[in-house]
Structure 1
Amino acid sequence: MVDLVGQSQEVLWRPHFVVDADVGFFRKLSLGYGMLKAEKNPDGAKLADVLSPELYARWTAAKQRYLPRDRGIERKRPMVAAQELFTAAIREAGLGPAKIVNPPIRAVIQAQSIKESIPKVTVKIDDPAAAIKDVRRMSLNDSACLEATLDAIDRLLPRMITNANGWATGDLKQISFDQLGRRNNTCADVFSNAEFSRKWGIPDIRASIRDEWLRMAEASLATNATTFAVLPLEDLMAPDGYVARLRALGYEIDAP
């Protein structure tokens, strides 16, 4: 991997979605408190109040295993609780993001002064305080995100090990991200389809960052002899992922 980076003229990192709030330093401090409150359910509701009894029972069992000491999470929105639970489950399974990939890449970039680029979609919100108030009062109907997360935890962890082994040996038929894709799409749709996004001009997040990555990738390929890209495996292997999109554009793909 390091040799390939050294032979490249540009490193293209994973794309990001950024919300730009045009506020001063002290107002940012007050917004930080507002964002913490925005993570909670409206009107002080607990997860037991907003989830069905069946879903809450599943949540309680998973929380007891992965987040036994976190009492405050019971007042957080289902999608916030889902993300914290998912992160804890991945970490316990030893499948967290080990810091062994990016550091050697960055070392070669610095040593050889290689250009690096981060595809980024930025949405500017002119009145972030009003936007946070909207989030705090809204019911986002995000129980489906928590349910999909619980499904992913139940079925995904063994699958992730199989995926890693399949990628390492080049056996792509072993790789499947169906469960993870369902979870990610369900959770992303909470905001993509919400009143908040329509009001504040937030576009389809998944489509926007993929379009921006493709735009920058094509520009890089047209300029450089070699470009090294860093992407999550699921984004490469998805039926509508980056490899499929590049192939549809006429690029020749040499799969592992």
Structure 2
Amino acid sequence: MIKFLRSPWLLLLLWPLLLRAEPAFYQVEKGAQTLWLLGSVHAGHTSLYPLPKAIDEAWQQSRQLVVEVNLNQITPGDLAEMARLTRLPDGQQLADVLPAALYAKTQTAAARLGVPIAQLAPLQPWYAALALSQAAIGQSGFDPALGVDSHFLAQATDAKRPIKGLEGFTEQLGYLASVSAHQNAMLESTLDELDDFKQSFTEVLNAWQAGDETHLSELLKEEMGPQELQEWLEQKLLAERNARWLTQLPGLESGSFIVVGSLHLYGPKGLLAGLAERGYRIERLSPPATTPG
């Protein structure tokens, strides 16, 4: 199964078992600009909160929230484009575009998760995979509304704090839809992950809550599916988007509090490496203070 940015899949990093652990949280500085950077879990549980003191203190000082997409600004035009990107052409059904064995496997998973197959029938295979993942989240007791990005969006909205998206809603959907050449592999990989969904995300979240980025990155890479899918994910959904975001970060108001999917932070093309290359001083505030290497 794969995961990106704000949708579920890999970065859902769920189920907090290490209640006293602290997720990795960074302060980055260059000149007069100070930014805070937190890797997100995009669904969660009440036991995630309250977040550690270092995170809360930085949030209280912050001047604006920066997220992947500002979901408070979705327009009717965005919804129309979403329908175009996520649905099959008129007259086509999922059964028409999938190999028979994969469609049968999809039917079985949908029945187990309580998703009517008619609901999946008009969807592109990549979006059917996402719909099944969402159903698995709910069935496992997790809630996207309790994800870290959703938490801060709600906090910022209530406080009337400015919210900036690093990309638009349809821009993000366009990145996802670009998987089309590999979407059958994505669907099959997602179906294979559903049986041990809760256990897999438990392991990932344990690493997230412990602030163990090395182990977290290893676990997430194991979840990426076959090689062709991993290469697409790393290039299109991570490297390309990180490069675009890095052009925006120097222009952010000092005091910006940035929340993005955790997988965007790490690795040679991650945001932390990119900020270091651009001369930012990086301090890890939580767990207490080490500088990422």
TM over 0.5: yes
CA contact (8 A) 2:186 2:225 kept: no
Q: Which runs of 5+ in 2 are unaligned?
A: 1-54, 172-176, 288-293
Matches of 2:83 and 2:158, distance apart in 1: 37
Aligned letter for 1:97?
P
In the other structure, the counterpart of 2:282 is 253
Looking at structure 1, the residues matched to 199 and 60 of structure 2 have their Cα atoms a distance apart, in angstroms, of 34
Gaps of 5+ in 1: 125-134, 191-203
1-structure distance, mates of 2:225, 2:70: 20
Give the 5 Å matches for 1:225-240. 226-237=255-266, 240=269
Q: CA RMSD in A?
A: 4.3
Could you tell me which of 86, 89, 93 is aligned with 2:133?
Answer: 86
Q: Give the number of the structure whose alpha-carbon radius of gyration is greater.
A: 1
Say if 1:146 and 1:229 are closer, same or farther in 2 by CA, change over 3 A: same
How far apart are 1:62 and its partner, in Å? 1.2
Structure 1 residues 217 and 37 mapped into 2: Cα distance closer, same or farther (>3 Å)?
Answer: closer
- Spell out, residue by residue over 1:174-233, the C-alpha distance to the aligned partner (whole angstroms, 9 max, x if none): 3121145459x949969xxxxxxxxxxxxx66555423321222223xx52x43211122
Are residues 95 and 174 of structure 1, via their aligned partners in 2, closer, same or farther at CA, if it must alter by over 3 Å?
farther
For 2:152 and 2:84, locate their aligned partners in 1 and report how far apart those are by CA, in whole Å: 39
Is 2:64–2:163's contact at 8 Å kept on the other side of the alignment? yes
RCO comparison, higher one (Cα < 8 Å, 6+): 2
Q: Distance in 2 between matches of 1:145 and 1:174?
A: 23
Paired residue for 2:273, among 228, 244, 254?
A: 244
Q: 2:283 is aligned with what amino acid? A: D
Equivalent residue letter for 2:67 = W
Any residues of structure 2 matched to 1:1-256 within 5 Å, and which? 1-15=55-69, 32=80, 36=83, 39-42=86-89, 44-99=91-146, 101=148, 102-103=150-151, 107=155, 111=159, 115-120=162-167, 140-141=180-181, 142-154=183-195, 157-175=198-216, 176-182=219-225, 186=229, 209-220=241-252, 224=254, 226-237=255-266, 240-255=269-284, 256=287
Name the SS of the counterpart of 1:71 in structure 2: helix
Partner residue, 1:196: none
Q: CA deviation at 1:90?
A: 1.9
Change (3 A) 1:38 1:253: closer
Distance 2:237 2:212 in 1: 31
Q: How far off is 1:64 after superposition?
A: 1.4
Aligned CA distance change for structure 1 residues 158 and 247 (closer, same or farther; 3 Å)? farther
The 3-state SS of whatever aligns with 1:230 is: strand
**Alpha carbons of structure 1 residues 160 and 241: separation in structure 2 relative to 1, 3 Å:** farther
Question: 2:126–2:186: 8 Å Cα contact kept in structure 1?
Answer: yes
1:106 CA drift (Å): 5.1
User: In 2 relative to 1, CA 145–92 (structure 1 residues): closer, same or farther, beyond 3 Å?
Assistant: same
Deviations 1:224-248 (A, max 9, x none): 2x43211122222455332232234
Residue 66 of structure 2 contacts residue 166 of structure 2 at CA under 8 Å; is this kept in 1?
yes
Give, in whole Å, the separation in 2 of the partners of 1:3 and 1:109. 18
CA deviation vs aligned residue, 1:26-45 (integer Å, no higher than 9, x gap): xx6xx94x975775444634
1:253 maps to amino acid: I
Percent sequence identity is 25
Counterpart-to-counterpart distance in 2, 1:37 and 1:123:
10
User: How far did 1:166 drift?
Assistant: 1.9
CA distance in structure 1 between the aligned counterparts of 2:211 and 2:167, rounded to whole angstroms: 30
Secondary structure in 2 matching 1:120: coil
Amino acid at match of 1:94: G
